[in-house]
Amino acid sequence: MPELDDHELLTDFARSESETAFSALVARHVNLVYSSALRFTSNPHYAEEITQAVFIILARKAGTLSPRIVLSGWLYQTARLTAANFVKGEIRRQSREQEAYMQSIEPEPSVWEHIAPLLDEAMGRLGETDRNAIVLRFFENKTAQEVGAVLKLNEAAAHKRVSRALEKLRKIFTKRGVALTVTAIAGAVTANSVQAAPAGLAVTISATAAKGAAVSATITTLVKGTLKLMTYAKLKLAFGITAGILLAGGAATVALSQTGSGGEPTPETIMKKSQAAYAGLSSYSDSGKVTAEVGNYTIPTTFNIRLQRPNFYRIEWTQTTAFFTNGGVVWSAGNGDFMLTKHGQYNVQPSRYNDMTTVLAAATGISGSASATIPGTFFKQNWGDALKFNPTKSALQKLKDEKVGDVDCYVLSTFTDPASLPNAGELPENGGRMGKTTTTLWIGKRDYLIHQFQTLTDGASITLPRISDATIKAMLEGRKKQATPENMDAMRTQLESVNKQVQSSIAGGKIISTQTHENIVVNQKFSPADFAQ
SS3 content of the chain, % helix, strand, coil (to 5): 50, 20, 30
Query: How far apart are alpha carbons 223 and 82 in whole angstroms?
Result: 8
Mean pLDDT of 382-408: 78
Domains of the chain: 6-235 (no CATH), 276-460+508-530 (2.50.20.10)
pLDDT of residue 214: 60
- Yes or no: say if 229 and 54 are a contact pair by the CB < 8 Å rule: no
Listed range (177-186, 213-222, 298-307) with the worst mean pLDDT: 213-222
- The DSSP secondary structure of 166-202, one letter per residue, reads HHHHHHHHHHTT----HHHHHHHHHHHS--PPPTTHH
The pair phi, psi for residue 294, each rounded to 5°, is -115, 100
- Tell me if residue 203 falls in helix, strand or coil: helix
User: For 84-97, how does the pLDDT look when each residue is reduced to its tens digit (9 = 90+)?
Assistant: 777 665 444 444 44
Tell me the CA distances in angstroms from 459 to 50, 61, 433, 436, 501, one per residue in order: 52, 59, 8, 7, 17
pLDDT of residue 93: 46
* pTM of the shown model: 0.46
Answer positive or negative: Cα dihedral of 412, 417, 423, 425.
positive
Mean pLDDT of 469-490: 76
Q: Point out which residues pair with 441 in neighbouring strands.
A: 412, 453
pLDDT of residue 202: 74
Instruction: Give the CA dihedral 168, 174, 180, 183, nearest 10 degrees.
Output: 0
- Yes or no: say if 351 and 339 are a contact pair by the CB < 8 Å rule: yes
Q: 3-state SS string over 67-119?
A: CCCCHHHHHHHHHHHHHHHHHHCCCCCCCHHHHHHHHCCCCCCCHHHHHHHHH
Q: What mean pLDDT value characterizes the chain? A: 77
